[in-house]
Structure 1
Amino acid sequence: MDDIRADAGHAPLISVIIPVYNDTARLSLCLGLLQAQTIADRAEIIVVDNGSTEDLSAVKSRFGTVRWLHEAKPGSYAARNTGINAACGHILAFTDSDCLPAPDWLEQGIAPLMGDNPPSFVGGAIDLVTTRPSGLSPAELFDLASGFPQHRFVEHVHFAMTANMLTLANTMKWVGPFATTMKSGGDREWGNRAWSMVGPGRYVDAARVGHPTRSSPPEVLKRVRRVAGGERDRKPGWRDCLAFCARQLPPPRRAILDIAAINPARASWPAKAGAMLFAYRTRLALIRYRLELQFGGESTRS
């Protein structure tokens, strides 16, 4: 990859865009790993504060080369769009403040975009990182099993989660920015748009980031609430609402099979049974949240 390096005076090849909302400790870990990338000399890092109430001054002082922006409109997609508008890079790379990029994440992720026939976007692997090797809670086992199936998302649903997504800046200009009306699911809407307008995306297993599992029911249910909100924002009608709720009524077969497949050294069968029950509880929570939104509630980012 030596041919992609350039003099310090040149524009950055890659702009890494990270929205943040009250996540200072994990953001510091993420920024440290980004500054240790194999091609860190070709990247600019842009952090967009989305209205945090935490004091960011310490992390700003520690990472003085990072570009710090602010977006007052709530929602990570609004923050990402602010980063996109300020980016100087030929390639845009997206991750989140709680992610842990592998040392060669950028080098592996940009490779398909440097060729003669680049994909509309690249989605890399998202590895779940647990709090401990065994004794996991039902919520954490469920999150570990369901996690982030990025390969399936790219190949079958035609999008990449923005925890690990890269695209050419010119593709973003052509396709347009993320939909700011959505607080969840905007990556899916954008990916589907890009696939239709530009061509297929590509999954790159070697471009990896870590992501901590959610270890408690409230943490998982925050994600469930965001999913329900994104679904309402994407398809707001009553017919779509009822169809979505009906799809959640059967037991979550895929999650149950994935939980069953967890290494026995990590979870006993009673623990797996608890996680399977929790998985169905999340289905019921999705129905409840989706109906609440249909009756006038507001989708949230947390």
Structure 2
Amino acid sequence: MPGTAPLVSVIVPAYNDGARLALCLELLLAQSIADQAEIIVIDNGSSEDLAPLHERYPMVRWLHEATPGSYAARNTGITVARGSILAFTDSDCLPSAGWLEHGIAPLLGDDPPSFVGGAIDLVTTGAARLSAAELFDLASGFPQKRFVEQVHFAMTANMLTTAKTMAKVGPFATSMKSGGDREWGNRAWAMVGPGHYVSAARIGHPTRSSPAEVLKRVRRVAGGERDRKPGWADCLAFCARQLTPPRRAFLDIAALDPAVAPPVAKASAMLFAYRTRLALVRYRLALQFGGESSRS
């Protein structure tokens, strides 16, 4: 494919996290079609000084977006992107060498999908005994294939589309700090057509190894749900659903390799999975009583 691919704009929102961003950039620069890609990083108000990375990676296009939220940052990247294909990932992600090459392939056909979602592989800390939080995240963190085929969106940790589709569907909803990828994907599916899952377009993502890291994501999910459906009836219906045991998470945890998760560890992870549901209820109700959704 090198020599025949169109220009691809890779859009990466960044909020602090300089060390992992540097690793992500190294892997993007090592793509099999790196000579046909531009990398755009949008600093979303980091308190960390990213100036050393600007100097280390002068080939990257560095932008700034003051409005909090990764979707606002991605939209800023879209406005300056020169590529006919847009590829989205995050600063903590680890793209495989063939990510772009495999990801853009369906978009170059005669009947391209509205978007491509690639595989997201969970990368553990490598600890001898994984925590309950990490086992929970390992089992159920990023079911991208199910999201694309059943829920009709791709997580923006690994999503590609054409600039033409983006122009037709419109940008991400900046009012949402979580769940904007689902909202956009559903719009694209309805307006342009189905998306497509590509297992060969792989990206690694570190597991969240502590309860605090998982609960940070839970807060974002609760905020995204409130932004998407702000009414009291929707709030109460959402909370009622969370009170039932998380059957899918239990099954995913039970399916983990016993060498990674022995029975006692699986039981702890299942208990933690249910605790995350209760936390979702608590955060969602807090927002309904006047809280504000956030990115952390």
Q: 1:34 aligns with which of 28, 34, 51?
A: 28
2:291 pairs with 1:282: no
Q: Post-superposition shift, 1:4?
A: 1.6
Residue 130 of structure 1 is matched in structure 2 by 124
Q: Distance in 2 between matches of 1:223 and 1:202?
A: 26
CA distance in 2, matches of 1:301, 1:17: 18
Of the candidates 35, 38, 48, which is equivalent to residue 42 of structure 2?
48
* Structure 2 equivalent of residue 242 of structure 1: 236
Tell whether the 8 Å contact from 2:113 to 2:195 is kept in structure 1 after alignment: yes
Partner of 1:167: 161
Say whether residues 1:299 and 2:287 are aligned partners. Answer: no
1:155 corresponding residue in structure 2: 149
**Any conservation in 2 of the 1:134–1:265 contact (CA below 8 Å)?**
no
Say which SS state the counterpart of residue 4 (structure 1) adopts. coil
Show CA shifts across 1:189-208 (max 9, x none): 00000000000000000000
For 1:234, the aligned partner's letter is R
Give the equivalent residue in structure 1 for 2:219: 225
- Cα deviation, 1:92-151, whole Å, max 9, x if unaligned, reads 000000000000000000000001100000000000000016410000000000110000
Structure 1 residue runs without a partner (length 5+) = 6-11
Q: Which residue of 2 aligns with 1:92?
A: 86
1:134, 1:229 → 2: CA distance?
A: 34
Q: Which portions of structure 1, spanning 4 or more consecutive aligned residues, are displaced by more than 3 angstroms? A: none
- The correspondence for 2:171, drawn from 165, 177, 185, is 177
Aligned to 2:4: 4
Out of 247, 266, 270, the residue aligned to residue 272 of structure 1 is: 266
Determine if the alignment matches structure 1 residue 22 to structure 2 residue 4: no
Gaps of 5+ in 2: none
Q: Which residue of 2 aligns with 1:8?
A: none
What is the TM-score with the length of structure 1 in the denominator? 0.97
CA distance in structure 1 between the aligned counterparts of 2:282 and 2:94, rounded to whole angstroms: 33
Which one of the candidate residues 62, 70, 91 is aligned to 1:68? 62
1:163-222 Cα distance to aligned partner (Å, 9 max, x none): 000000010000000000000000000000000000000000000000000000000000
Name the CA distance, whole Å, in 1 between partners of 2:110 and 2:230: 40
1:190 aligns with 2:184: yes
Q: Determine which of 243, 252, 257 is the counterpart of 1:258.
A: 252
Cα RMSD (Å) of the superposition? 0.8
Contact 2:2 2:32 in 1 (8 A): no
Inter-partner Cα distance in structure 1 for 2:168 and 2:261: 47
Q: Distance in 2 between matches of 1:237 and 1:46?
A: 37
| Secondary structure, counterpart of 2:253 in structure 1 | helix
Aligned-residue offset at 1:3: 4.7
Q: Deviations over 1:255-284 (max 9, x none)?
A: 111111111111111111111000000000
Report what 2:207 is aligned to: 213
The count of aligned residue pairs is 296
